[in-house]
Amino acid sequence: MATAVMTSLNPASRAAARGMSDLSIRNLFIIPTILFLIVFNIFPLLYSLYYSFTDFRASTNAAGNFVGLQNYRELLNDPFIWSNFAITAKYVIVSVTGQVLVGFGVALLLNRHIPFKGLLTTLLLLPMMLSMAVVGLFWKLLYDPSFGIINYALGLGTFEWLANPDMALYAVAITDIWMWSPFVMLLSLAGLSAVPKHLYEAAAIDRAGSFYTFFRITLPLVAPILMIAIIFRTMEAFKTFDLAYILTSQPTTEVISIRLYKMAFQEWQTGRSCALAYIVLIMVIAITNIYVKYLNKVKER
Amino acid sequence: MAAVRTSGEIALNRLAIVGVLIVTLIFLAPIYWIASTAFKPRNLATTIPPTVVFEPEISPFVKLFTKRSQIRQAPTPEVYEAAPWWERMIYDGGEKVVRSGRGEVQLSGYPSRFMNSLIVAITSTVLAVGMGTFTAYGFSRFKVKGEADLLFFILSTRMLPPVVVAIPMFLMYRAVGLNDTHWGLIILYTAFNLSFSVWLMKGFIDEIPKEYEEAALVDGYTRMEAFFKIVLPEAATGIAATAVFCFITAWNEYAFALIMTNRRAQTAPPFIPSQVGSGLPDWTVIAAGTFLFLLPVAIFTFLLRNHLLRGMSFGAIRK
């Protein structure tokens, strides 16, 4: 290891030698964090891997029986679980698409000569700083069919948002878009400001249309950072729990996290829920990998 | 964008300004609605058309902090006169304050939940940023075997859905008696924020020139002294930005708090929704609780706006 600095004749290292060695400082700084994360992240995962092979129920004190792959087999053959995944996928697609369109759109607008740009950007960031659960609760009032301000502002009369099974998922997605478009906007702004100005000047000299400029210069150069925003938002949307759980209790909004929560803490099927948690985990890892591969491709271009 | 030149460009720019203003208004409307509802008398909270102009009241906050019950019979004039002004306000709303046997005013659950949120969020932020800064320095300045893998491992701990980790954590906590304790949540939030803190701080520390410490080492400082006296002050901005992010995450967390606490250590995010109950909820009280809860984060966001913008886009730009 390159920490054999003690032997070097560098005066700096000789002075440092009076105190702790670089090697021990490095270990002191890094090892506690790694240990902490192993104990509180890796160990629980191994623990639940074990439980996923049992029929353990946390509501009783009886130790579970080892049932092998039975939990996994049953879950993968359960059409209700697959419908939960389908709902989650629909939710992810709707809300991430919405966030990218709104967020990137606002970033394009903000990237012009806007007075009070800093203040407006900060104000636009507010929604994502707030608590999803607490804000979600309040959106219930905004969505209320008889006295909600959304129906009043849009002139929708007594349109049902949350009690309507077909609409509820979109209502949750709209709230999510409100909260997280600012995140996409922020990353897009960072990407847009990094596009070299001379490219636009060159395009202007060539009398390139704004359409051409956007698709040939802006979009390709912002694509990698936009991709990072999409990765983050997809992961978060896939994990969604609070917003959907607080806003409605429709079967059509039961995303996989809610199913998992109910299975674990309401039905107390601990072993089964651990198995489901593992299925979710494997999916998250798979999706992340696909995205990262795609990101690298986008970057290479 | 290139400088505005043609008249078409100027018109386009005007359009952009109008667009940005409209979007900002739409995005802020729900927050404005929470804030204004928190100061409304109860009967104006759910009117159609919505009440925009009204005389602000603080009765929602009085109700938020006190334990109340429905009045069965209207108070006699003597009782009404003898009551302090804020209790009269509650009488007017059809409720009365609950007092203990010794006549002491009973507080609602909100103040203690708010305190729990403060204790848990502040402690876990200090721990996560502290450990994160040390670790980031370690990765930034020393050679570490498998550095990229270790950093990826640290980041990967953040990819898990909270509910997945919550099941085994719940069992572990129950076994060691950490359920429904402040420390239980503090440890969880620290673990959750640590990865983020390491990554963000590494970005900031990488930007501080190594020469600063080397100069200090030549001057006879030990490595530790150089770290505390040279690197830490230079990294102060980064530490502040990281701390705000960690605080916001811990302050707003819901799923773990819902699962791991029920009474003693419960924070506000699971508590406020649980107060809605059945029947007609008093939205002014919910708005007051929401407003107070959002206030610290809104103030933070505004005070540290410049660092936030930098900190948030940092990791993404550098990659």
The shortest C-alpha distance from B60 to chain A (Å) reads 15
Q: How confident is the model at residue A175 (pLDDT cuts 50, 70, 90)?
A: very high
Neighboring chain A residues of B144 at a CB cutoff of 8 Å: 26, 30
Closest chain A residue to the Cα of B214, Cα to Cα: A12
Give the mean pLDDT of A286-296: 82
pLDDT at position B132 over 90: yes
Give me the phi and psi of A43, to 5 degrees please: -60, -45
The model's pLDDT over B201-249, given as tens digits with 9 standing for 90+, comes to 988 898 889 999 889 989 889 888 899 999 999 998 889 888 988 999 9
Distance CA A250, CA A172 (A): 11
What percent of chain A is predicted at pLDDT more than 70? Answer: 93
Q: What is the DSSP string of B137-193?
A: HHHHHS--TTHHHHHHHHHHTTTS-HHHHHHHHHHHHHHHT-TTSHHHHHHHHHHHH
> Taking a C-beta distance cutoff of 8 angstroms, is the pair A247, A139 a contact?
yes
> Taking a C-beta distance cutoff of 8 angstroms, is the pair B201, B239 a contact?
yes
Q: Do the Cβ atoms of A18 and B219 come within 8 Å?
A: no
The model's pLDDT over A206-220, given as tens digits with 9 standing for 90+, comes to 887 878 888 888 888
Minimal CA–CA distance to B312: which of B199, B206, B214, B193?
B199
Q: What is the pLDDT of residue A232?
A: 85
What's this model's pTM, rounded to 2 decimal places? 0.87
Residue with more model confidence, B168 or A177 = A177
Half-sphere exposure (CA, 13 Å, Cβ side) for A73? 6
| Cβ–Cβ contact B304 with A under 8 A | no
Element containing residue B96 per DSSP (H, E): strand B95-97
Give me the residue label for tokens 């002191």: A28
Give me the phi and psi of B262, to 5 degrees please: -135, -35
The shortest C-alpha distance from B27 to chain A (Å) reads 7
Residue B286 tokens, joined: 């919910």
Q: What is the pLDDT of residue B311?
A: 62
Give me the phi and psi of B7, to 5 degrees please: -65, -35
| Cβ–Cβ contact A121 with B under 8 A | yes
The model's pLDDT over A13-43, given as tens digits with 9 standing for 90+, comes to 555 556 778 888 888 999 999 999 888 888 8
CB pairs under 8 A between A and B: 306
Residue with more model confidence, A139 or B84 = A139
Q: How confident is the model at residue B310 (pLDDT cuts 50, 70, 90)?
A: low
Q: Do the Cβ atoms of A261 and B270 come within 8 Å?
A: no
pLDDT at position A75 over 70: yes
Neighbours of B151 (CB within 10 A): 18
The shortest C-alpha distance from A236 to chain B (Å) reads 8
Q: What is the pLDDT of residue A168?
A: 95
Interfacial A residues in 15-34 facing B (CB < 8 Å): 15-16, 18-20, 22, 25-26, 28-30, 32-34
Q: What is the pLDDT of residue B42?
A: 83
The model's pLDDT over A76-135, given as tens digits with 9 standing for 90+, comes to 999 999 999 999 999 999 999 999 999 999 999 998 888 888 889 889 989 998 999 999
Interface test with A, best of B9, B13, B118, B223 (most A CBs within 10 A): B223
Q: What is the pLDDT of residue A235?
A: 87
Q: What is the pLDDT of residue B115?
A: 96
Minimal CA–CA distance to B165: which of A75, A163, A280?
A280
Q: Do the Cβ atoms of B33 and A122 come within 8 Å?
A: no
The shortest C-alpha distance from B8 to chain A (Å) reads 11
Q: What is the pLDDT of residue B145?
A: 86
Give the mean pLDDT of B68-83: 82
Q: What is the pLDDT of residue A12?
A: 52
Q: Do the Cβ atoms of A20 and B224 come within 8 Å?
A: yes
Distance CA B15, CA A112 (A): 10
Q: Is the peptide bond before B49 cis (omega within 30 degrees of 0)?
A: yes
pLDDT at position A266 over 50: yes
Give me the residue label for tokens 């697609």: A93
Q: What is the pLDDT of residue B43?
A: 81
pLDDT at position A249 over 90: no
Q: What is the pLDDT of residue A243?
A: 93
CA-based radius of gyration for chain A: 25
For residue A147, give the nearest of B47, B191, B251 by CB distance: B47
Minimal CA–CA distance to B134: which of B126, B123, B146?
B126
Q: What is the pLDDT of residue A11?
A: 52
Interfacial B residues in 90-119 facing A (CB < 8 Å): none
Q: How confident is the model at residue A172 (pLDDT cuts 50, 70, 90)?
A: very high
Neighboring chain B residues of A189 at a CB cutoff of 8 Å: 313
Q: Do the Cβ atoms of B306 and A118 come within 8 Å?
A: yes
Specify the 3-state DSSP secondary structure of B37. helix
The model's pLDDT over B159-214, given as tens digits with 9 standing for 90+, comes to 777 888 888 899 899 989 999 999 999 999 999 899 889 988 988 898 889 999 88
Interfacial B residues in 284-303 facing A (CB < 8 Å): 286-287, 290, 293-294, 297-298, 300-302
Minimal CA–CA distance to A197: which of B1, B6, B3?
B1
| Pairing status of strand B68-70 against strand B95-97 | antiparallel
pLDDT at position B77 over 90: no
